[in-house]
Amino acid sequence: MTKQVSFRHVLLSGLATIAIGASVPARAEDTIKIGEINSYKSQPVFTDGYKKGMMLAIDQINAKGGVAGRKLELITRDDNANPGEAIRQAEDLVTREKVDILAGAFYAHIGTALTDYAKQKKRFMLITEALSDNIVWAVGNKYTFRLDSSTYMLVSSLVDEAVKLKKKRWALIYPNYEFGTSAASAFKRLMKEKQPDVEFVAEQAPPFNKIDAGSVIQALSDAKPEATFNALFGSDLAQFIREGNTRGYLGDQMPVFSIITGQPEYLEPLRDEIPKNWMVTGYPWYSIKTPAHQEFLTEYQKKYGKENLRFGSIIGYSTIKAIEAGVAASGGKTDSDSLVAAFEGLQFDTPDGKTSFRKIDHQATWGLYVGKLAVEDGKGVMVDYHYAPGEKLLPSDDEVRKLRPAD
């Protein structure tokens, strides 16, 4: 005899099955959500490698069970290269997505805006790439930390080499926004300290992405400098180099000291137009032979193929490694006060070795590769480089206290 089953019994059984199935995905409390805001559309060369680096680290960490038993989840948003949009995205990530950690920023002015947001909202914020000194000093606050080297550190890594030239008359060229003006200010200050008789005979600060390279080169040439400091990047840098070569300003007799130019993002578009013997900071990933970096390179290319790395690749990867270490140090807590306490003085691993966040200003001691430019096989590379530890490039605690407001 067939057993009669009521509709109510079937319905209740189905609901029970649905309820059981719904419990399979990870619960919100089992996941640490990272809300990341960046200029994905306007800086795709950097952010492509950057996001890949983040995802490589997340996959590695999650494969080992996550952090404090919780998996990492990444939610990215584009800021459209606009500070107001960055703030709107941050607010949406916090209120709607309920993220645990905020991170990001490529441009200096956006990093500064997010720094202020962190202060106003009392939310932990890890600025990853924006380089402005303001982020950790003038507008620095309890809740904001910065991973990449600051403009001060970039300049500091070049000044000793610049002083060795014993050139008295210097010209400066930089974009007229926070990153550029901060870099120029640091260069003039540090050069004056180490070479009191130095003169700055010309300064050109064209609008970002709107350089009139011909008039800029003419103005610099008219001042007859003996050496040049450069902080241009991207398309501005390419136009400056092409016009400088055409007009003879950037010949063998003009030493140039240039920050970030040795990063693949800026070298590769120039191809064989690379100016030889510029002294630069950068990322010579193709010839770094340390065990930690070799392991990172192997895993990165295993996941994404034999593509070239970008500086963004190592920054993105190290961003997640810093978050992993910070959450572990907090005992798995992700409220802002717990994260701040954990990140102050935190030491963590990167492909370039151990790095830490200073307690006094929340700046990471990210080191820098400093060397000369050359062309090999039709491509720009860094040669004769050395690694400058970040902790040796930063000012003393006493000096920082004068630069940074009390929290």
Taking residues 237-243, what's their average pLDDT? 95
Chain mean position to CA 376: 27
Answer whether residue 14 shows pLDDT above 60.
Answer: no
Q: How far apart are CA 84 and CA 94, in angstroms?
A: 16
Helix, strand, or coil (residue 138):
coil
Of 150, 117, 158, 153, the closest CA to residue 134 belongs to 150
Phi, psi of 275 (to 5 degrees): -75, 125
Give kind and range of the element (H or E) at residue 338.
helix 336-343
Q: What percent of the chain has pLDDT over 70?
A: 93
Of 129, 127, 156, the closest CA to residue 311 belongs to 129
Q: Residue 251: pLDDT band by 50, 70, 90 thresholds?
A: confident
Taking residues 290-296, what's their average pLDDT? 98
Q: How far apart are CA 139 and CA 211, in angstroms?
A: 29
Which positions ≥6 away from 77 have C-beta within 8 Å?
35, 36, 37, 38, 89, 92, 93
Helix, strand, or coil (residue 352):
coil
**pTM to 2 decimals?**
0.91
Taking residues 293-308, what's their average pLDDT? 96
Cα dihedral 80→85→86→91 (10° resolution): -140
The two three-digit tokens of residue 162, written as one number? 């610049």
Q: How far apart are CA 41 and CA 114, in angstroms?
A: 18
Taking residues 146-156, what's their average pLDDT? 98
Q: How far apart are CA 245 and CA 359, in angstroms?
A: 45
The per-type count for the chain, helices as H runs and strands as E runs, is 13, 14
Answer whether residue 84 shows pLDDT above 90.
Answer: yes
Sign for the pseudo-dihedral over CA of 294, 297, 300, 304: negative
Give kind and range of the element (H or E) at residue 191.
helix 178-194
Answer whether residue 320 shows pLDDT above 70.
Answer: yes
Q: Are residues 171 and 149 in contact, defined by beta-carbon separation less than 8 angstroms?
A: no
Answer whether residue 98 shows pLDDT above 80.
Answer: yes
